[in-house]
A and B are shown apart, each in its own frame.
Chain A
């Protein structure tokens, strides 16, 4: 039993009904290294780490921590073994302060009058401030969670682990929600952590990050380890090819844009949320035929509400929305769809899909009431649903267990997304609103969807692309608008902006 590995997972196999998520996977992690797990969506990275964190138990295989064989039956036990995990979705109480969130479950207690136990919040604040300084996290423990941005929330999650004395830190896709500047900052934190002796496991599908921070990298494909590489000696290209299992091209072929007439004309639009707060402020822009207009912005700056308002899911408080010269500001959603709006919403499970419906019903979710799906008297024709479903499954490479009759809930996130993308493109609307169209997809699928978006643009569709991924925006956009705090202050042709400039506008650093 070699002592140099802090974690060893040997011959791990984990099955879920109908799928083998991990197939005889063995990894060995040294103390004090940054170990990356690279793989496409559904390759089994998260499953493997969930087992290390005690959320599942492996069907076969053994786990050794610090040379001792362990059965990690729960996250609590994993915490006892000094293993911590930062999840993709943060688990924080939003109306508590940062310190309160961190100490929850292991509060420092003092006794008032030597009798009544109370939480010693002063000590907690002090401890956390010290921890934060030690690793360069720059967090103020007295702030309330709902008042701080995503990047800080993530750092709170990191502090939560450090407070619990974690030595092995698992990061699950930590950069998905961050701006380039914030990513830099996070990667620096990760390096700091390693330098002070922590062991880091980084789950990601972003090659750049691995190249920047990781020491070693295990590549997973379809539940199996393909290779374990020393990052310094390997090119990103090689890693990408191993991960996808074939040659990948990073740039998208894009012929020069030829703009036609205006399709979408948003004039001084303001949108209020339920708390009567202006989330979109006096926004104006146009999208033309043959144009990809991309809106860049940090999550939560009003871009979702902007899209919802144009699609009719949120009300416009003031201003106008024109589609092909017609005022649609107060039109019902179905009329807008019929007038020519496709919409891929940000939240695919809550809005984009009926999870308990079959795949074919979901593919016809916006056209079920029309010919050919529905005849006179509103009687549906299952044959037409089937035919249409088959067609889209083939064209958009939607993979599912039981074909058209699969319950969408049981499909993987990536395939759910493909189903929505297929359905919306197939509507052949003049205006297509894509919000985060490739979120959670793997490289191969992203490439495909970008190609499809550009093909639609070449056909003369107007495309409004809203994304948190700057790469995506830089790759696809003809025009870029940057939204910050509900306002679009910067609109410029894509070729006149660099990625860093866009990033600065997104942070509100530059104005005008």
Chain B
């Protein structure tokens, strides 16, 4: 048992990927036990999750629907999640806890909606402008948080939560008084030209939604990885995040670095906002903050705050969420069980340091034993 674990997880080079996979498998196994406890078939349930996310074919589809339809709709949901998780991860690297991603998303989504979304602009101008506005608005909110922290030493957790409320009520005031759709009780739908997801495009015999920004999300994740690992700004961000005193001692301007990191984090949240409210959705429900910004905290944690890790973790978590409604319909398992599985994944991932420690201990033990055996043999 120990030997197998050490062999699979003990290699220093592959550990960074082997251990998360191990924790995920472990949580899926526990999830299976829970599902079995409910009297359902665990493997069927998991298959349903994959089917719901378009990663496996369903037994039957209605007209114009297919695996691709499900998969593209999964990607549509994935895009804002990936941006949001990147936003959390970058802030986390600077030692800041951006719990206000949802508020920043809403601010960016709202501003882009009322400016471009309700205009007559053509798609070629409108779409890039929406992205740009998302970035700028998010960046400004982030800058405000960073400035409050730097100038007045206001804890970013407090200020981002407060800004969440401010944005929530301010936008709902404007939506209710000026932009309301009387029937849906939401803001009026944005123009097709400004939407970042192409809806109901006919591909072959199917109709699919195409999220334009998923590629951008992946590119930005790679860019963030480069920024953090290979630039002096990234070096400063990490130095401030891991020990503020040492960073200051080394001559890094801690305040400036924190403001810049919050601006980057805010910009990413802004991207999440426009891809959510003007891509995945087309309108804003007043007085409601999306869960995406909060789930993103967990996703970033699972991805170890590594931008590349975040690509995979958001894929996994969104997959479970997206697949849950089909699982519920097909196997009669409550959608909440999906949240339980997500919770388990996070719980086990949080234990990864412990797993690493244990594996290391076993490895030393085994090496010792081997050495002793070798000695015995040599003596004979």
Chain A residues close to B by CB (< 8 Å): 15, 17-18, 311, 313, 332-334, 336-337, 343, 345, 350-357, 361, 365-366, 368-369, 374, 377-380, 382
Judging by beta carbons under 8 Å apart, are A368 and B246 in contact? no
Judging by beta carbons under 8 Å apart, are B252 and A355 in contact? no
- Shortest A90–chain B CB gap in Å is 22
Judging by beta carbons under 8 Å apart, are A350 and B231 in contact? no
Within 8 A of A (CB), among B352-380: 360-361, 364, 368
Within 8 A of A (CB), among B217-238: 230-236, 238
Instruction: Give the most central of B245, B361, B368: most A CB within 10 Å.
Output: B245
Q: Does B56 contact A (CB under 8 A)?
A: no
Which single member of A337, A350, A377 contacts B246 (CB below 8 Å)? A350
Residues of A within 8 A of B242 (CB): 354-357
With A and B bound together, what is the CA distance between A195 and B252 in angstroms? 56
Residues of A within 8 A of B246 (CB): 350-354, 365
With A and B bound together, what is the CA distance between A343 and B248 in angstroms? 13
**Closest partner residue, chain A, to B364 (CB atom):** A17
Judging by beta carbons under 8 Å apart, are A345 and B249 in contact? yes
Q: Does B243 contact A (CB under 8 A)?
A: yes
Q: Does B281 contact A (CB under 8 A)?
A: no
Judging by beta carbons under 8 Å apart, are A379 and B230 in contact? yes
Q: Please classify the interface of chain B as helix (H, G, I), strand (E, B), loop, or mixed, using the class held by over half of its residues.
A: helix
Judging by beta carbons under 8 Å apart, are B249 and A313 in contact? yes
Chain B residues close to A by CB (< 8 Å): 230-236, 238-239, 242-243, 245-253, 360-361, 364, 368
**Closest partner residue, chain B, to A381 (CB atom):** B230
- Shortest A290–chain B CB gap in Å is 27
Residues of A within 8 A of B368 (CB): 15
**Closest partner residue, chain B, to A364 (CB atom):** B235
Judging by beta carbons under 8 Å apart, are B250 and A365 in contact? yes
Judging by beta carbons under 8 Å apart, are B248 and A333 in contact? yes
Q: Please classify the interface of chain A as helix (H, G, I), strand (E, B), loop, or mixed, using the class held by over half of its residues.
A: mixed
With A and B bound together, what is the CA distance between A333 and B364 in angstroms? 44
Interchain Cβ contacts under 8 Å between A and B, 20 examples: A17-B361, A18-B364, A313-B249, A333-B248, A333-B249, A333-B250, A333-B251, A334-B253, A337-B251, A351-B245, A353-B243, A354-B242, A355-B243, A357-B238, A365-B239, A366-B250, A366-B251, A379-B231, A380-B235, A382-B230
With A and B bound together, what is the CA distance between A279 and B200 in angstroms? 72
Judging by beta carbons under 8 Å apart, are A334 and B232 in contact? no
Instruction: Give the most central of A336, A337, A366, A378: most B CB within 10 Å.
Output: A378
Judging by beta carbons under 8 Å apart, are A380 and B232 in contact? yes
Judging by beta carbons under 8 Å apart, are A368 and B243 in contact? no
Judging by beta carbons under 8 Å apart, are B235 and A361 in contact? yes
Residues of B within 8 A of A357 (CB): 238-239, 242
Residues of B within 8 A of A336 (CB): 251
With A and B bound together, what is the CA distance between A451 and B234 in angstroms? 37
Assuming A18-B364, A355-B243, what are 4 further A-B pairs, CB within 8 angstroms?
A333-B251, A334-B252, A352-B249, A353-B246
**Closest partner residue, chain A, to B239 (CB atom):** A354
Judging by beta carbons under 8 Å apart, are A343 and B231 in contact? no
**Closest partner residue, chain A, to B235 (CB atom):** A368
Which single member of B232, B245, B361 contacts A368 (CB below 8 Å)? B232
Instruction: Give the most central of A17, A354, A377, A380: most B CB within 10 Å.
Output: A354
Which single member of A313, A355, A366, A374 contacts B232 (CB below 8 Å)? A374
**Closest partner residue, chain B, to A333 (CB atom):** B251
**Closest partner residue, chain B, to A380 (CB atom):** B230
- Shortest B117–chain A CB gap in Å is 35
With A and B bound together, what is the CA distance between A15 and B361 in angstroms? 10
With A and B bound together, what is the CA distance between A365 and B236 in angstroms? 10
Residues of B within 8 A of A368 (CB): 232, 235
With A and B bound together, what is the CA distance between A223 and B253 in angstroms? 43
- Shortest A17–chain B CB gap in Å is 5
With A and B bound together, what is the CA distance between A410 and B231 in angstroms? 25
- Shortest B200–chain A CB gap in Å is 43
- Shortest A146–chain B CB gap in Å is 22
With A and B bound together, what is the CA distance between A374 and B360 in angstroms? 35
**Closest partner residue, chain B, to A335 (CB atom):** B251
**Given A357-B239, A357-B242, are A332 and B253 also a contact pair (CB < 8 Å)?**
yes
With A and B bound together, what is the CA distance between A217 and B37 in angstroms? 64
**Given A332-B253, A365-B239, are A354 and B247 also a contact pair (CB < 8 Å)?**
yes
Instruction: Give the most central of B233, B234, B243, B248: most A CB within 10 Å.
Output: B243
Judging by beta carbons under 8 Å apart, are A343 and B249 in contact? yes
Judging by beta carbons under 8 Å apart, are B247 and A378 in contact? no
With A and B bound together, what is the CA distance between A77 and B252 in angstroms? 47
Q: Which 3 pairs from chain A and chain B are nearest by CB?
A: A334-B251, A378-B232, A369-B232
Judging by beta carbons under 8 Å apart, are A313 and B239 in contact? no
With A and B bound together, what is the CA distance between A382 and B361 in angstroms? 31
- Shortest B354–chain A CB gap in Å is 14
**Closest partner residue, chain A, to B251 (CB atom):** A334
**Given A350-B245, A353-B246, A356-B242, are A15 and B235 also a contact pair (CB < 8 Å)?**
no
Judging by beta carbons under 8 Å apart, are A380 and B364 in contact? no
Residues of A within 8 A of B231 (CB): 377-380
**Closest partner residue, chain A, to B241 (CB atom):** A356
- Shortest A416–chain B CB gap in Å is 12
Judging by beta carbons under 8 Å apart, are A350 and B252 in contact? no
- Shortest B26–chain A CB gap in Å is 23
With A and B bound together, what is the CA distance between A368 and B238 in angstroms? 13
With A and B bound together, what is the CA distance between A512 and B96 in angstroms? 51
**Given A18-B364, A332-B253, A354-B242, are A378 and B248 also a contact pair (CB < 8 Å)?**
no
Residues of B within 8 A of A313 (CB): 248-249
Instruction: Give the most central of B252, B361, B368: most A CB within 10 Å.
Output: B252
Residues of B within 8 A of A334 (CB): 251-253
- Shortest A210–chain B CB gap in Å is 34
